A = this chain, B = another copy of it.
Amino acid sequence: MWIVRINMTDQSYKLEEVPERYKNLGGRGLTSTIIYDEVDPTCHPLGPNNKLVFAPGMVTGTAAPTSARVSVGAKSPLTGGIKESNAGAAWSPAVARMRVKAIVVEGMPKEKGEYWVAKLFWDGKQPAVEFSCAGDYVGKNLYDVFPMVFEKFGKRVHIAGIGVAGEYGYANSGIVFDDMKQRPTRYSGRGGLGAVMGSKGLKFIVVDPEGAPGVEIADPEAFKEGARKLREALGEHALTKPKGGLNTYGTAVLINIMNEAGGLPTRNFRSGRFEGAPKIAGEAIFENNKQRLGKELYNHACSPGCVIQCSNSYYAEDGSEIVSCIEYESDWALGANCGIDDLDGVAKLVYWCNAYGTDTIETGDCIAVAMDSGYIPFGDLDGAIALMHEMGKGTPIGRILGGGTEFVAKAFGNPRSPSVKGQGMPAYEPRAVKGIGVTYATTTMGADHTAGYTIAPEIAGVGGKSDPLASEPSKADLSRAFQMTTAFLDSTGHCLFIAFAILDIASGFQGLIEEVNAMYGLNMTIDDAVALGGEILKRERAFNLGAGMTNLHDRLPEFMKYEALPPHNVVNDLPDEVFDAVHGKM
């Protein structure tokens, strides 16, 4: 097993044997540990001393169901702290099958503005890297560029890279991967990692897995058995089974649910309820597709081996595809949060995020703050699309919007920035769903729902029940437990959505642990796995403290304390001690 180090100062690379302490790590556990070990937390995120780390999950590249995630890590230009952002993409198992545990991108070219493609391939005995000029791909729509890359490097390669947003150094830029139809749609979106890649002059890492030996599994039979248990659980659970909630309506099934709960942030977090919610809900996506295509369209996998298959495509009146995929978060960010109830319009906005390489959540938050500041009105779809193109062109207003939620608010002197550690909030109102507020405030990642998805018990009744509106100290325990478990899950390479099934079906969680044990010859229990998650969080938090953060960065924005949110007319009334308890007890 290797670590591939790519040095962008001189476009060179070297292979390293994976050191003992990294052997059983993968995904987030590995990216965060490498960043913690190697990156000075006080370095400038876009300077020569930051590093960008790609790591497939612990079981990625195997036949484990829904396990093709890749974690990307660095010091974030958005939060100033550590960042791990993961995506499901065929790129990840392709890297894993080359027995590459991680790719570490270091240094930066002396001259700004030159871009390179690094091609990772199997040279017969080991991985190798070839550099070439990326000049042809720079400054362009990724939907135009991806076909050029496949044309040049072959149809079987996979791509990781950046759009113009990463080239411009935007803090809302993501890292893009090709999906199952070679479109630029799978994103490690959050935290501005695209800008880190751009600062290093690296446009794409193209992976050609031809001839790769595949992953090694210590006990293949036990592995199969674990994977079977997990697959069964996924096939049973109402949310994850075929033609279940996610496979039918996609993640946007949550629009109506969150709206009903009064926790769907609307018009830059001015309300928890959006009158246009039904028009942009997952049900509307399904119904519009049905009407426009003349048949029921169930969702597809974002990456190989996924059995949940929650990724949709959305079609125009004329039957042509507008975009794949409209996630709940994207739908909300560019819809409800901007006061836009036009689903075709939201789909177009998602398309342009993909085309330019921005995170849909951060982008929606940024546009909504600009609307909140009076730059364009709420609900102005044409204005929002025009702003997307400003971002695409790198104009001054584009650069403001590209700077991230807090940056936009600062540009307009607006104290209503729905963000934590500079990162814009996702699609759950923390005043109306207290536990997710604790996660937003305390995760090492900046406002991030995936880091400790207490929505499961607070809204979906999965993994227990917890009253979303109750301002209880126990929300700290709830969030901490989810954060620890998630840090482990994010390390396995499995999609977070397996959590729905394994939280409710014990044999599924057991199967997951058996997979990992069989892969690495370990004897972990579930408790060990959660404890490993806790260790990962500790490293991440240590990095953040080393970057100058304190417990005072684990807070929701001030305006949520004094501005009551309709319809429940609730404020953030959790005492600071609750937020501090999350890491205090860990």
Bound CA–CA A42/B550 (angstroms): 12
Interface 0/1 of A536-578, CB less than 8 Å to B:
0000000000111110110101110010000000000000000
Query: Do A411 and B415 touch across chains, with their CB atoms under 8 A apart?
Result: no
Q: How far is the CA of A235 from the CA of B550 in the complex (A)?
A: 50
A547–B558 CB distance below 8 A: no
A141 at the interface (CB under 8 A from B): no
Pair B44/A559 contact, Cβ less than 8 Å: yes
Closest B residue to A199 using CB positions: B413
Select A413's contact among B168, B397, B415, B553, beta carbons within 8 Å: B168
Binding stretch for chain B, among A46-54, A95-103, A221-229? A46-54
Cβ contacts under 8 Å, A168 to chain B: 413
Q: In the complex the two chains form, is B410's CB within 8 Å of A403's CB?
A: yes
Q: Is A195 an interface residue (CB 8 A)?
A: yes
| Chain A 387-402: CB-based contact to B (< 8 A → 1; otherwise 0) | 0000000011101100
- Say which residue of B42, B199, B410, B415 sits within 8 Å of A407 (CB atoms): B410
Tell me whether A518 is interfacial, beta carbon within 8 Å: no
Classify chain A: how many residues form its interface, as a range. 35 or more
> Which B residues are CB-close (under 8 A) to A415?
44, 46-47, 199
Q: Cβ of B413 and Cβ of A46 under 8 Å apart?
A: yes
CB neighbours of A171 from chain B (8 A): 410
> Shortest distance in angstroms between A95's beta carbon and chain B's nearest beta carbon?
27
A169 within 8 A of B: yes
Q: Does A209 contact B (CB under 8 A)?
A: no
- Proximity bits, A31-44, B CB within 8 Å = 1, else 0: 00000000000111
- Interface residues in A350-403 by Cβ distance below 8 A to B read 395-397, 399-400, 403
Q: Which of A146-191 contact B (CB under 8 A)?
A: 168-171
A78's nearest neighbour on chain B, judged by CB, is B410
**A43 contacts B400, C-beta separation under 8 Å:** no
Are A42 and B413 CB-contacts (below 8 A) given A396-B395, A548-B550, A549-B548?
no
Q: Are B558 and A195 in contact (CB under 8 A)?
A: no
User: Nearest-CB distance from A78 to chain B (Å)?
Assistant: 10
* A48 and B411 form a contact (CB under 8 A): no
* CB-based contact B413/A559 at 8 Å: no
In the complex, the answer to whether A558 meets B410 with C-beta atoms within 8 Å is no
**A143 within 8 Å of B by Cβ?**
no
Contacts of A49 in B (CB 8 A): 558, 562
> Considering the chains assembled together, what is the distance between the CA atoms of A340 and B399 in angstroms?
26
Which listed residue (B169, B552, B559) contacts A547, Cβ 8 A? B552
Q: How many copies does the complex hold?
A: 2
- Is A412 a contact partner of B558 (Cβ separation < 8 A)? no
A397: which B residues are within 8 A, CB to CB? 396
Q: Does A26 reach chain B (CB closer than 8 Å)?
A: no
Min C-beta distance of A326 to chain B, whole Å: 29
- A198 beta carbon closer than 8 Å to chain B: yes
* A410–B47 CA distance with the chains assembled, in angstroms: 12
Given A195-B413, A198-B413, A415-B47, also A42-B396 (CB < 8 A): no
Bound complex: CA A42 to CA B549 (Å): 13
Residues of B within 8 A of A77 (CB): 410, 413
Q: Which residues of B contact A403 (CB under 8 A)?
A: 410-411
Kindly identify which residue among B47, B412, B550, B553 contacts A559, using a CB–CB cutoff of 8 Å. Answer: B47
Instruction: Give the CA-CA distance A171 to B407 in the complex, in Å.
Output: 12
Q: Which residue, of A48, A171, A410, A552, has the highest number of chain B Cβ atoms within 10 A?
A: A410
Chain B: minimal CB distance from A73 (Å): 19
Are B170 and A413 interface neighbours, CB within 8 A?
yes
Known contacts: A47-B415, A548-B549, A548-B550. The answer to whether A42 contacts B410 by CB under 8 A is no
- Chain B hits for A547, CB < 8 A: 552
Q: How many Å from the CB of A482 to the closest CB on chain B?
A: 25
A195 contact set on B, CB distance < 8 A: 413
* Residues of chain B within 8 A of A412, CB atoms compared: 169, 399
Q: Can you name the residue of chain B whose Cβ is closest to the Cβ of A43?
A: B558
B42, A558: Cβ atoms under 8 Å?
Answer: yes
- Residue on B nearest A198 in the bound complex, by CB: B413
Q: How far is the CB of A198 from chain B (nearest CB, A)?
A: 7
A48 contacts B562, CB within 8 Å? yes
- Asked whether B558 lies within 8 Å of A548 as measured between CB atoms, the reply is no
Q: For the complex, what is the distance from the CA of A559 to the CA of B44, rounded to whole Å? A: 8
Bound-state CA distance A168–B412 (Å) is 7
CB distance from A544 to the nearest CB of B (A): 11
Measured in the bound complex, the distance between the Cα atoms of B171 and A540 in whole Å is: 31
Closest to A407 in B: B410
In angstroms, Cα B399 to Cα A459, docked, is 40
Q: What are 11 of the A-B contact pairs (CB < 8 Å)?
A: A47-B415, A169-B412, A171-B410, A199-B415, A395-B396, A399-B400, A399-B411, A403-B410, A407-B407, A546-B552, A550-B550
Apart from A44-B559, A47-B558, 6 more pairs, CB < 8 Å: A195-B413, A199-B413, A199-B415, A396-B399, A407-B410, A548-B553
The 8 closest A-B pairs by CB, nearest first: A169-B413, A396-B396, A548-B552, A396-B397, A47-B415, A44-B415, A399-B411, A44-B558
Taking beta carbons and an 8 Å cutoff, which residues of A are in contact with B?
42-44, 46-49, 77, 168-171, 195, 198-199, 395-397, 399-400, 403, 407, 410-415, 546-550, 552-553, 555, 557-559, 562
